[in-house]
Amino acid sequence: MKKNFYAFGVLCLFTLLSACGGGGGGGGASGPVTSTNTFDVRAGWSRLIANGFSKTFVISGTCSGTDSLTVGPANTSTTFEGGPALSSNYVDNTTFTNCTPASSIGTATNYYDSNYIPLGSSILGGKYEVWTTAPTIPVTARVGDVGIFGTLNKYNDSTKAVSAGRQDNSYVIEADTATSAIANFISKNYNTSNVLTSTEQDRYRIAADGSMPLISIDIQYANGSTTHLVMN
């Protein structure tokens, strides 16, 4: 499975049942608090991608299980689409207790520019993804802000001869605590007939110290499927 991570998606790689995650709370029993701070989402994202991370989620919703996600640091110099790039290895290991297949592993290489802005990815098995233009990640964001990252075109392989659909990406900054906010990265996946197949929400908690860990993933399938997976 690949979620849309690069997070946008931890930037994620899901090729069968999948999920991206639930809410981001943090405001206590009274609910989330709307911070009046401004948050540098771009700096938080750059720090996250530069260092890499590992996280294990508990899966709930239509299926139960666990998901272990490892995103390596983007520190390998390479090329992508004919230009200089940094690359990062991505491994997503999913195990279900009540759905089939019972387990799956998704592997990919994600590519970024020198500022850790996503360029695209090469997925084990041949799939290939390229951003039409570099996504704009906000430097100053407040709770309630919304915006568009852009579109990721998908292909059957790196020749880009055959389309495999596209992914439209956006964000919304949600309430959390007086000193933090939730950056919700939303990915809508469409097939080659322009039919919505899934919506994924990757939520990151961005704090005053500039940290921005991934806290949850939520995937709602469409196009005849009622599968809904939440990972916390």
pLDDT of residue 3: 56
Q: What are phi and psi of 69, to 5 degrees?
A: -115, 130
Q: Can you give the residue ranges of every domain in the chain?
A: 41-231
CA atoms within 13 A on the CB side of 69: 32
Amino acid at the residue 176: D
Does the pTM of the predicted model rise above 0.75?
A: yes
Distance CA 219, CA 199 (A): 6
Tokens representing 118 are 């996503």
User: Is 102 in contact with 96 (CB distance < 8 Å)?
Assistant: yes
203 secondary structure, DSSP code:
E
Task: Report the pLDDT value the prediction gives residue 190, as an integer from 0 to 100.
Answer: 98
Model confidence at 16: pLDDT above 60? no
Q: How far apart are CA 124 and CA 67, in angstroms?
A: 18
Q: Which three-class secondary structure string do you get for 209-226?
A: CCCCCEEEEEEEECCCCC
Whether residue 7 has pLDDT greater than 80: no
How much is the pLDDT for 208?
86
Average pLDDT along the chain: 90
The per-residue pLDDT for 213 is 97
> Backbone dihedral region of 76: left (phi > 0), alpha (psi from -120 to 50 degrees) or beta?
beta
Task: Dump the DSSP string for 106-145.
Answer: EEEEEEE-TT--EEEEEETTS-EEEESS-----SSB-TT-
pLDDT class for 12, splitting at 50, 70, 90? very low
pLDDT at residue 4, as a whole number: 54
